[in-house]
Structure 1
Amino acid sequence: MAIRLLLTGGGTGGHLFPAIATAREFQRQYPDTKTMFIGTKRRMDTESLRSSGFESRAITSFGIKGKSPLQLLKALVSLPQGYLEALKILREFRPDVVFAVGGYVTGPVVAAAKRLGIPIVLHEQNSVPGMANRYLSHIADRICLSLSVAAGYFNAKKTVFTGNPVRENILNLAAERRTADEKIILVLGGSQGAHRLNVLVPEALRALKGKVDFKVIHQTGKKDAQEVRASWQAAEIDATVEPFFRDMAEVYRQASLVISRAGATTLAELAVIGMPAILIPYPTAADNHQLKNAEHYVAGGGAMVFEEAGLNAEILGSAVQTLFAGDRLEEMGAMMKKLAVPDAADRIVKECLTLVGGQQ
């Protein structure tokens, strides 16, 4: 079967990685699948899509939530242009189904798909839906959820729990038997709201030197790499520091414990691998959705969560020391893996095909 699949979304890797994983699953099952992405003109989107090897286009679109009056006006004025650009691309590509993963770019694309009578599938990664998915859910045909707790925000007749697709190399790592001979702490500062983590974690772990034998791998984001590298060197702690790691599977392979924000895609990857985590949600994330994401994994026994506002180096250091004592990490890892949905991409493919079949 030759499926013509159009995917849209972007603004963060958390949006794009599940879309790319779904596209690859389509192509694995149906090698004749033709795929196109419509994203934003942001560098993050264009680089991620270029590296994926899929054909991609960008339309005019700007964010609305939390913007200044001038930025909001610019975004609203651009909507008709983005809609016409999306309409042109859809008419040329003629997709069988549109799969939207969130972000402001999806609005014009989904509206154009609705105008042309193309089936629409939304994917919501977070426990609290973003603005785009909330509004677009009214015209979508199916809504796929990564976390069942998000179901209350949507029409129950349209929703289905699929989980959050993760990258193939992460799935391959999950299938291997992991051994952690060394205690290696992976710190995922990321790019958004990372600075507080990048400062706090070296301060917290400095106090553990001599009490716990460990190493550190620290992803800082672009701005803080030099400062963080100097912090670890001053503490005389063995740390590998980089702004970003391209091969996350290899980084995960080495780690015993992750200290991270609580983005939905990162959490889905940690669950698939069975990686215990200390989560420090980004406090200004929209609708505090990172805290709610984290609470799902804490309730399942795979993670600990600390809100940034009440956290200091002493509390964090004590938590790490406690986890490295006894079998707690192993137990948390096993519980984390029970929360995983490794076949999420396959589930989404099936939902898309159900709609495509209804059109044929």
Structure 2
Amino acid sequence: MSTTGDLSVLIGGGGTGGHVFPGIAVARELVRQCPGVSIVFVGTSRGLEAQAVPRAGFEVEFIRSAGLKGRSWAATVRAAALLPLSAWDAWRVISRRRPDLVVGVGGYSSGPLVLLAALRRIPTMVLEQNAVPGLTNRLLAPFVRAAAVSFDAALASFGSKGFVAGNPVRPEFLEAATVEDTPPEICRLLVLGGSQGARSVNDAMRGAASMLAAIRPRLVITHQAGPADADAVRQAYAAAGVEARVEAFLDPVAPEMRAAQIVLCRAGATTIAELAAVGRASVLVPLATSTDDHQRRNAELIAGAEATELLAQRDLQADVAERLGALARDPARRTRMAGAIKQFAHPEAARTIVDRALRLVRA
């Protein structure tokens, strides 16, 4: 194996952008450091990785897998029944690809791949993006050789194997922003509901459309609403006279974030890392049903540094227009928040992770 040509790496996991995009960032850094490296992602055909990974220029293989936690009893039984098939699929991928390194980026599909690789004494590492480690990574902790975490709070789950690297973001979030003068009578708002949109965020913005139209300075909105809600959200804004561009999915999203003055979004760790990299004021709405309430924990850490406004999902419908209006009218506070969140930025996260991973391979 040569770290410049013959290195073979599997990156397992996914499901959502919060897992997939850090994996892509690490893959790109591996390519930068090791020209000729072979990288294959391993996930499920239902996850975002099925579209995002090929679009980023990498190969993806699929295994049969489903999550066990936070599901109905019947769904949990079906997921448990898939475990032998997941293990078989993962074993075949490992045997065929013969990796020198396996990296788990979170999500249930990373479990069988990383565990079997560890049992075969292949160097393994996991990435933990959240303040509260997910079930899969907690179960893998005794078996992996290293764990890269984004928050100090997650270190306890991994003991001496854990190290704080930050959450790697795609390179486009690290590019210098083109300064665009925004007239003082306008405030640009970006609404993100995660990689698939968010029904509660969409419903709240639709319900508040008439109040949003009355905010001064005037809101100009770009809204990622997901494929199911995009038309309804677009119609609600138009009926209220709100200037808005509504898309099912924004790709690339980095230019939209750089152009915004306020971002309304969920509190997933990757979204927070992107906000920190760009440096933007935000209103974070933690997903109430997130596993182990990890989004609330993420948001509380950021809000504790006065780097965001935290809005509980139960208060979203009633308070979203008021919170956005207050921020729109207070450019000084937006500037303070944008500066404060940068303390959570780790522009070298991908390099730090890859450096440690290559040391594992060479050991």
Change (3 A) 1:292 1:192: farther
Aligned pair partner of 2:204 in 189, 200, 213: 200
Q: How much does 1:295 deviate?
A: 1.1
Deviations 1:191-241 (A, max 9, x none): 567112112124445325263222111111111111111110111010001
Q: Would you say the 8 A contact 1:4–1:97 is kept in 2? A: yes
Q: Would you say the 8 A contact 2:190–2:222 is kept in 1? A: yes
Deviations 1:264-296 (A, max 9, x none): 111110110001100111111111111111112
Q: How much does 1:66 deviate?
A: 2.5
C-alpha distance in 2 between matches for 1:140 and 1:43:
24
Aligned pair partner of 1:215 in 220, 223, 226: 220
Q: Would you say the 8 A contact 2:101–2:123 is kept in 1? A: yes
Deviations 1:138-183 (A, max 9, x none): 111111101111123x1321100011111111222xx235445141
Q: Would you say the 8 A contact 1:191–1:220 is kept in 2? A: no
Aligned pair partner of 1:38 in 24, 37, 42: 42
Q: Would you say the 8 A contact 2:145–2:161 is kept in 1? A: yes
Matched, 1:352 2:357: yes
Show the 5 A alignment for 1:279-298: 279-298=284-303
Question: Number of matched residues?
Answer: 354
Matched, 1:137 2:141: yes
Matched, 1:161 2:170: no
Structure 1 unpaired stretches of 5+:
none
Q: Would you say the 8 A contact 1:180–1:254 is kept in 2? A: no
Aligned pair partner of 1:337 in 328, 342, 345: 342
Write the letter of the residue equivalent to 1:155. F
Change (3 A) 1:210 1:350: closer
Matched, 1:15 2:34: no
Secondary structure in structure 2 of the residue aligned to 1:87: helix
C-alpha distance in 1 between matches for 2:181 and 2:283:
17
TM-score of the pair, normalised by structure 1: 0.93
- Deviates most, 108-117 or 196-205: 196-205
Write the letter of the residue equivalent to 2:69. K
Secondary structure in structure 2 of the residue aligned to 1:207: helix
- Structure 1 counterpart of 2:10: 6
Q: Would you say the 8 A contact 1:180–1:256 is kept in 2? A: no
Deviations 1:72-97 (A, max 9, x none): 23322222222122122212212111
Q: Would you say the 8 A contact 1:83–1:111 is kept in 2? A: no
C-alpha distance in 2 between matches for 1:329 and 1:178:
16
C-alpha distance in 1 between matches for 2:51 and 2:142:
31
TM-score of the pair, normalised by structure 2: 0.93
C-alpha distance in 2 between matches for 1:17 and 1:340:
16
- Structure 2 counterpart of 1:85: 89
C-alpha distance in 2 between matches for 1:349 and 1:157:
18
Structure 2 unpaired stretches of 5+:
none
Show the 5 A alignment for 1:1-360: 1=3, 2=5, 3-42=7-46, 44-152=48-156, 154-172=157-175, 175-176=176-177, 178-179=179-180, 181=182, 182-190=186-194, 194-204=198-208, 206-208=210-212, 209=214, 211-313=216-318, 315-324=319-328, 325-358=330-363
C-alpha distance in 1 between matches for 2:21 and 2:181:
27
Q: How much does 1:245 deviate?
A: 0.9
- Deviates most, 159-168 or 187-196: 187-196
Q: How much does 1:323 deviate?
A: 1.7
Q: Would you say the 8 A contact 2:226–2:249 is kept in 1? A: yes
Write the letter of the residue equivalent to 1:310. D
Q: Would you say the 8 A contact 1:300–1:339 is kept in 2? A: no
- Deviates most, 30-39 or 319-328: 319-328
Q: How much does 1:27 deviate?
A: 0.4
- Deviates most, 65-74 or 336-345: 65-74
Secondary structure in structure 2 of the residue aligned to 1:19: helix
Deviations 1:32-55 (A, max 9, x none): 211111111215221112212212
- Deviates most, 271-280 or 302-311: 302-311
